């Protein structure tokens, strides 16, 4: 089985050249993030009202992939899905699991903060040359460094990991397949709807971890920002059972309103590399289409 879990800067620049990219958060900045507005988190949570909006399907068709996009307004509770059936199908989360993995590591004291560093063991690994060096939590999340989060998971251990995923209600919370690989090739499954629910709870500071840990991880997911808007997210990519699966899940904020979103793409296993740029391209286009990002974010 081949795993492609890239977040390399070269690929990002290829698919988002015109977006004013946010600089990777410095260690000092990541330790003291500027939190998003607390108003949304202290307000009553509106009920989720879902509607199917198939207007984005032509984008998937043009890209020749099977795909689904889920977008929830945290202000109104309105949730749109482009494909109601596909939005409920669970898949391996791949590198999107780095979000809960980081939260659990911070909460359990495995990592002390954004600048907590693990030494590279000197073994060169495929995927990205950026992986082959020492990493902090901030840089490992930015570069989607697989070995770093595998070691973090081993240090968390199966008992604490299982308890945390159940407390998070994260997908099926199944860690079968090995403590350092259950999200890559094991039994863990999560649907696009569940990804959006998880990101909504992260932003509202409703997960059973310290608020400062949630604020820190959310901050480190920043992909691009400018006055009046921000785009946060984490990619994931894997292939299994003859199928390639690509993810981009996160949060978008514009003029004080926040949306949680999840994009999932599926294609034949042989086309796994083709999904790498498509994740950001399609997610960005759909976020702009539905008003979660301004038009200039698409350029």
Choosing from 32, 42, 43, 95, the catalytic residue is 95
Strands in 78-81's sheet, in edge-to-edge order, are 49-52, 78-81, 66-73, 257-268, 243-254, 229-240, 222-226
Distance of CA 81 to the CA centre of its chain: 18
95 in catalytic set: yes
End-to-end Cα, the chain, rounded Å: 36
Query: What distances in angstroms separate CA 149 from CA 14, 37, 141, 188, one per listed residue?
Result: 26, 29, 9, 16
DSSP letters for 259-293: EEEEEEEEEEGGGGGGHHHHHHHHHHHHHHHTTSS
**3-state DSSP call for residue 211?**
helix
Evaluate whether 59 touches 282 at the Cβ level (below 8 Å).
yes
d(CA 233, CA 219): 10
Which residues carry out catalysis? 95
């Amino acid at each position: 089985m081949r795993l492609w879990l890239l977040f390399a800067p070269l690929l990002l620049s290829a698919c988002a050249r015109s977006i004013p990219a946010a600089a990777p958060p410095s260690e000092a900045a990541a330790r003291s993030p500027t939190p998003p507005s607390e108003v949304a988190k202290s307000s009553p949570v509106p009920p989720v009202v879902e509607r199917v909006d198939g207007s984005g399907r032509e984008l998937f068709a043009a890209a020749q992939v099977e795909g689904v996009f889920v977008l929830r307004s945290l202000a109104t509770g309105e949730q749109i899905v482009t494909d109601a059936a596909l939005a409920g199908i669970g898949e391996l989360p791949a590198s999107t699991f780095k979000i809960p993995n980081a939260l659990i590591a911070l909460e359990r004291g495995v990592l002390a903060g954004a600048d907590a560093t693990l030494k590279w063991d000197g073994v060169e690994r495929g995927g990205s040359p950026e992986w082959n060096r020492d990493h902090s939590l901030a840089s490992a999340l930015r570069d989607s460094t697989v070995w770093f989060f595998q070691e973090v998971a081993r240090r968390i251990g199966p008992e604490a990991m299982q308890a945390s995923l159940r407390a998070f209600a994260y997908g099926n919370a199944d860690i079968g397949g090995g403590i350092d690989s259950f999200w890559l090739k094991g039994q863990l499954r999560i649907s696009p709807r569940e990804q959006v629910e998880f990101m909504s709870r992260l932003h509202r500071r409703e997960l059973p971890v310290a608020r400062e840990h949630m604020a820190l991880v959310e901050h480190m997911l920043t992909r691009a920002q400018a006055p009046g808007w921000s785009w946060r997210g984490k990619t994931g990519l894997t292939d299994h059972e003859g199928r390639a699966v690509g993810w981009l899940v996160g949060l978008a904020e514009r003029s004080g309103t926040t949306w949680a979103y999840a994009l999932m793409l599926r294609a034949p296993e042989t086309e796994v590399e083709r999904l790498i740029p498509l994740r950001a391209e399609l997610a960005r286009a759909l976020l702009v289409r539905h008003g979660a990002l301004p038009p200039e974010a698409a350029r």
